[in-house]
Amino acid sequence: MSKEMIHVESDKVGGLEHSTALVPVETLGEVITELLRPVMQTIGKMLENNTAALEQLSAAQSVQNDRLEALEKQIRLQTPVSGKQVSYLNDAIRARARDLLDKRDVDDSKATVKLGNAIRKAVLSRYGISGLREVPKHEYNVALQQIGMWSDALTVRDVVKEARKRAELAEQSSGVDGEKTPARPLD
């Protein structure tokens, strides 16, 4: 049985050495493995470095996505209601004030305004703002619900009491026979 031999040439990449050798076929795999080992190690290190770089990019992108979400949320929170929505809020406030006064048989425009101001103040204090225009757009429906459910019994009682007092004074000043009488007697 004869052994087959293969002619193998080897160059050193950085050096000047050049060699030629005859290698038995059985050891050819080992020779190829030895020759490719530095190349495979280099490729392995490159893949590790690339993996690390991709992980860093992924982490940076995740941070960027989180920042964008926070920015979008902040924009949403700071976007105020439209002028039409402010108009609807004001209409809802007036309607709620009239409804609360109608339940107590009071028809007084000053009382409606005063009660409307109390409702408005409650809405504004909830959001810590100075005007309905500053209500966040995403809170518009919540503000409408708050207006619809507003019922401060003490404030309503005080406004009704003032309205009835005004009506009583107006009756007294108009007199029984339609003549105006002074609000206080003359001395």
Residue 167 or 8, more confident:
167
Rounded Cα distance between 147 and 122, Å, is 9
Distances (CA, A) of 130 to 7, 84, 100, 124, 157: 92, 18, 24, 6, 26
Handedness of CA 101, 102, 105, 107 (dihedral sign): positive
pTM for the full model?
0.57
* pLDDT on residue 176: 53
- Quote the CA–CA distance of 89 and 146 in Å, as a whole number: 10
**CA–CA gap between residue 106 and residue 102 (Å, rounded):** 6
The mean pLDDT of the chain is: 84
Instruction: Determine what percent of the chain is predicted with pLDDT higher than 70.
Output: 81
* 62-79 tens-digit pLDDT: 999 999 998 888 877 778
Span 110-133, average pLDDT: 95
For residue 155, what pLDDT is reported?
A: 95
Contact present, 172 and 124 (Cβ < 8 Å): no
Domain limits, the chain: 23-76, 83-166
Handedness of CA 83, 88, 89, 95 (dihedral sign): positive
Over residues 140-164, the pLDDT tens digits come to 999 999 999 999 999 999 999 999 9
